């Protein structure tokens, strides 16, 4: 059974930093591209970033240059380093698996999410 468990959310000040983690199990982690998707309170879903199995990275314009996606295949863990967060980055952040290695596929399984609140 595929399981994705996010952690690392919490309260962060504008301009600070935060690192989110997503621990994966139930599949061969290194064989799949992985994603972050967020949902602001009461709003819809917004794609944030994708990391392909080969290392290719993609970012939404809203986070480019501030957020960095990475992975540690030895620990089956995906990360999102959030630098210089802004109030409009406040959201639940979901980790989601892609159904192929390269990142060209669809999102199939999602974690339960971790809440990030950016406020002073």
Partner 1 sequence: DIQMTQSPSSLSASVGDRVTIACRASQGIGNNLGWYQQKPGEAPKRLVYGATSLQSGVPSRFSGSGSGTEFTLTISSLQPEDFATYYCLQHNTYPRTFGQGTKVDIK
Which parts of this chain interact with partner 1 (CB under 8 A)?
A: 35, 44-47, 50, 58, 60-61, 94, 99, 104-113
List Cβ neighbours of 93 (8 Å cut-off, separation of 6 or more): 6, 9, 20, 36, 37, 38, 48, 80, 113, 114, 115, 116
Closest listed residue to residue 34, CA positions, set 113, 93, 110: 110
CB of 45 to partner 1, least distance (A): 5
Q: Which is nearer to partner 1, 27 or 47 (CB)?
A: 47
Cα 68 to Cα 97: distance, rounded to the nearest angstrom: 17
- In the structure encoding, which two tokens stand for residue 117, read together? 């609140």
Q: Which is nearer to partner 1, 46 or 81 (CB)?
A: 46
CB of 62 to partner 1, least distance (A): 9
- In the structure encoding, which two tokens stand for residue 41, read together? 């309170």
Q: Which is nearer to partner 1, 32 or 94 (CB)?
A: 94
CB of 53 to partner 1, least distance (A): 15
Q: Which is nearer to partner 1, 79 or 94 (CB)?
A: 94
């Amino acid at each position: 059974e595929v399981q994705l468990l996010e952690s690392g959310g919490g309260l962060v000040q504008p301009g600070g930093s935060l690192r989110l983690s997503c621990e994966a199990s139930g599949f061969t982690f290194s064989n799949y591209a992985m994603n972050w998707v967020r949902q602001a309170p009461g709003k819809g879903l917004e794609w944030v970033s994708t990391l392909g199995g080969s290392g290719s990275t993609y970012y939404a314009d809203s986070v480019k240059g501030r957020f960095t996606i990475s992975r540690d295949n030895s620990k089956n863990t995906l990360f999102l380093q959030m630098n210089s967060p802004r109030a409009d980055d406040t959201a639940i952040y979901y980790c989601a698996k892609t159904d192929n290695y390269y990142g060209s596929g669809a999102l199939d399984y999602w974690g339960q999410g971790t809440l990030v609140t950016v406020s002073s």
